[in-house]
Amino acid sequence: MVSYLTEALVAGGHDVTLFASGDSVTSADLVAVRDRSLRNHPRPCDPAVWHTIMLDEVSRRADQFDVIHFHVDCTHYPMARRCLTPCVTTLHGRLDLPDLAALHQHFAEHPVVAISNAQRRLLPQANWCATVHHGLPLALYDFNGTPQDYFAFVGRVSPEKRLDRAIEIALACNTRLRIAAKVDAADRNYFETVIRPLLNHPLIAFEGEVGDGDKNALLGNARALLFPIDWPEPFGLVMIEAMACGTPVVAYARGAVPEVMDHGVSGFVVSNQSQAIEAARSIGEIDRQACRRGFERRYVSSIMASEYVKVYESLARRRGTVKLRSVGGTDHVIRTPG
Amino acid sequence: MVSYLTEALVAGGHDVTLFASGDSVTSADLVAVRDRSLRNHPRPCDPAVWHTIMLDEVSRRADQFDVIHFHVDCTHYPMARRCLTPCVTTLHGRLDLPDLAALHQHFAEHPVVAISNAQRRLLPQANWCATVHHGLPLALYDFNGTPQDYFAFVGRVSPEKRLDRAIEIALACNTRLRIAAKVDAADRNYFETVIRPLLNHPLIAFEGEVGDGDKNALLGNARALLFPIDWPEPFGLVMIEAMACGTPVVAYARGAVPEVMDHGVSGFVVSNQSQAIEAARSIGEIDRQACRRGFERRYVSSIMASEYVKVYESLARRRGTVKLRSVGGTDHVIRTPG
């Protein structure tokens, strides 16, 4: 998401410096404190070491920018409090955790951005300055008006994602379910005990983790994406990925779902399995072109960038040029025409 | 260790502020950002949140102190670099890790203290300002001149601690081995597969984790502590705990062992199992009173505190009063008479 935002800001004429690993592909000026991302390294790394070095580099250059936008956790809050350059942080995770309430009570002045109003309501103590929905590059996913005869499930295999419900919905509709899902180490036991026994059916295809190109085809060719979650989903990125393909979504009304979905246009928002099954059976009623138009109207990365520029401008002191920075594993600087 | 240092500094007339959890027992002024230590909390906590809040509190009060002494990892390095008050960090862990070399190359000016010269040699890039050995309160352990007929093993059950070697040594001497050892989750598999099969012998008593009072009795009544480690031990606290009881140590010559031990006085330093078995058989040659005197001469917390005061004084600007701070889960301020 930081990459999509950065590219959209650069495309909008802004001057952005991205703090990230050296293997990042970006149109922004890149400041890398190490060559490869921590995730792609052959030996285990200490993330605290590299975040500390990156934070030091951000501090060192702080006066070159008008705004610093962070997408990392919270270790920068003390530095942000003392920094003359305005700082803002987008909170990407689940917020109903007691420690986060204490954190935002202590750093009560730190400006934060939510990725949904549902997420924001879970932490009313924080100094919210905006809600900015995620956005995708317009051409990242291809519209597909003629899907094949299957449903898709895309995401982690974890209890809150409720793949078991998706399987039940597909079987009730006698429709094939293609599952593109990652199993994290923490969810291995759940996968083996709860999910694996459900996979042994000719209509159920477990395809493991898929790359971006495969995801485009898998989502675009699906009659619907099933998203029967059971947790306060902060946003639910895969919903807008499906919409970008014109693929409607059958989603449970938890977290950001009612806010991200346009019921009857981008799919159906449901509250229980019988509604979900009925919605999946009726999915042909959704106009896939209207579904795609909904994506183009609300969830394109240039729209997200415009919303963030409003945030930056409200934070930055007006100085002829407006320079902005953002940190996200990652950190960037933007210079807007005056 | 931070507690021992803090108490010794206060006893030495210094004015210390300790940053730690509210359940800390201390003679220093306590600044607590939360009521209980993270370890003793009924629900899982996010340590990064609480370290961040603590670091912010330290920054806020920085100008009240002459020196800040940190015992936490590295997230304070950027703050320390920009702080007008001199900062120093004691590195307590293993240092032969590539990320730490990069860290101390980046923060090349940050003053650090080693807990042994052996530890220090593993990170020559760092800005070492001293080696200060650990120290214990003089009366923490009781001298025992008349031990019982067993050896002791105290520590974690992990591959590098080589409990298997200790068992072999005890059996070769036909001597009982009492094992006070904790099994961390990460070492559970090692314990079950390698260690548990070795415990089924009448001479071997596995007693699990023991409290401080029990450790005093267990160490003091032992004829020897077996410490047959196989890793670059940064210090090896249990060696000086044994010495404080007058209990000699049979220790492998790895890491800080040759530096902490006084071969022939506090026990024997060995390089292989036949030497270790021979040393354990000859342990009666060690004068337990001389062993205790070695502890009193080198490893008392007041000595450690004096060494640290020298470090503080070399760092602090002379301003009539010298005020010092230390952070260790924890952070303290000291004011020495001018």
The 10s digit of each residue's pLDDT in B139-197 is: 999 999 999 999 999 999 999 999 999 999 999 999 999 999 999 999 999 999 999 99
Q: Which of A49, A82, A106 sits opposite B99 (nearest CB)?
A: A49
d(CA A285, CA A96): 36
A-chain CB neighbours of B73 within 8 Å are 48
Check residue B164 and give its pLDDT: 96
Per the model's pLDDT, the better-predicted residue between A6 and A47 turns out to be A6
**Whether B93 and B189 share a structural domain:** no
Lay out the sheet containing B224-227: strands in order across: B204-206, B176-182, B150-156, B224-227, B249-252, B267-270
When divided into structural domains, chain B yields a total of 2
**Whether B273 and B315 share a structural domain:** no
Which of the given ranges, A82-86, B23-27, B241-245, B313-317, has the highest pLDDT on average? B241-245
Three-state DSSP at B250 gives strand
pLDDT at A2 over 80: yes
Q: What is the mean pLDDT of residues A229-256?
A: 97
d(CA B177, CA B180): 10
Terminal CA-to-CA distance of chain B, rounded, Å? 26
As a whole-number percent, the residues of chain B with pLDDT over 90 amount to 80
Distance to chain B for A330, nearest Cα, Å: 17
A-chain CB neighbours of B56 within 8 Å are 77-78, 81, 106-107
Q: Kind and range of the H or E element at A18?
A: strand A17-19
Task: Name residue B113's amino acid.
Answer: V
Q: What is the mean pLDDT of residues A187-211?
A: 94
What pLDDT, in 10s, does the model give residues A256-282? 999 999 999 999 999 999 999 999 999
Q: Which of B19, B43, B46, B73 to mutate to test the interface with A (most CBs of A within 10 A)?
A: B46
Q: How many CB atoms lie within 10 A of CB A84?
A: 7
Least confident of A309-323, B9-23, B31-45, B286-300: A309-323
Instruction: Classify residue A174 by burial, with Cβ atoms within 10 Å: 0-12, 13-18, 19+.
Output: exposed
Tokens of A179: 């599952």
Q: Check B75 against A75: CB less than 8 A apart.
A: yes
Q: Which residues, other chains included, contact A144 with Cβ-Cβ below 8 Å and sequence gap of 6+?
A: A220, A221, A245, A246, A247, A288
What pLDDT, in 10s, does the model give residues A124-159? 999 999 999 999 999 999 999 999 999 999 999 999
Check residue B320 and give its pLDDT: 38
Sign of CA dihedral B279, B280, B281, B282: positive
Strand partners, B334: B324
Q: How many CB atoms lie within 10 A of CB A297?
A: 10
What pLDDT, in 10s, does the model give residues B83-107? 999 999 999 999 988 899 999 999 9
**Whether A220 and A154 share a structural domain:** yes
Q: Check A74 against B50: CB less than 8 A apart.
A: no
Per-residue CA distances from A15 to A9, A27, A218, A292, A313 (Å): 8, 10, 36, 31, 14
Q: Do the interacting molecules here have an ipTM over 0.90?
A: no
Looking at the domain assignment, is residue B140 inside a domain?
A: no
Q: Kind and range of the H or E element at A176?
A: strand A176-182
Closest by CA to A254, choosing from A98, A125, A96, is A96
Looking at the domain assignment, is residue B38 inside a domain?
A: yes
| pTM: predicted TM-score of the whole model, two decimal places | 0.86
Residues in B lying within 8 Å of A, measured between beta carbons: 33-34, 43, 45-46, 48-53, 55-56, 59, 73-75, 77-79, 81-82, 97-100, 102-103, 106-107
Check residue A40 and give its pLDDT: 65
Looking at the domain assignment, is residue A264 inside a domain?
A: yes
**Whether A169 and A108 share a structural domain:** no
What pLDDT, in 10s, does the model give residues A91-118? 999 998 889 999 999 999 999 999 999 9
Q: Which residues, other chains included, contact A97 with Cβ-Cβ below 8 Å and sequence gap of 6+?
A: B46
Q: How many CB atoms lie within 10 A of CB B310?
A: 13
Check residue A42 and give its pLDDT: 65
Q: Which of B49, B55, B77 sits opposite A78 (nearest CB)?
A: B55
Check residue B159 and give its pLDDT: 94
**Whether A274 and A320 share a structural domain:** no
* Residues listed for chain A: 338
**Whether B93 and B168 share a structural domain:** no
**Whether A286 and A309 share a structural domain:** no
**Whether A309 and A294 share a structural domain:** no
Chain A residue closest to B56 (CA)?
A: A78
> Are B67 and B312 within 8 A, CB to CB?
yes
Looking at the domain assignment, is residue B213 inside a domain?
A: yes
| Domain extent at residue A41 | 2-135+300-335
**Whether B278 and B178 share a structural domain:** yes
CATH number of the domain enclosing B307: 3.40.50.2000
**Whether B288 and B308 share a structural domain:** no
Confidence label for B327 from pLDDT (cuts 50, 70 and 90): low
Distance to chain B for A45, nearest Cα, Å: 7
Check residue B305 and give its pLDDT: 97
pLDDT at B73 over 90: no
**Whether A306 and A284 share a structural domain:** no
Residues in A lying within 8 Å of B, measured between beta carbons: 33-34, 43, 45-46, 48-53, 55-56, 59, 73-75, 77-79, 81-82, 97-100, 102-103, 106-107
**Whether B117 and B229 share a structural domain:** no
Check residue A331 and give its pLDDT: 46
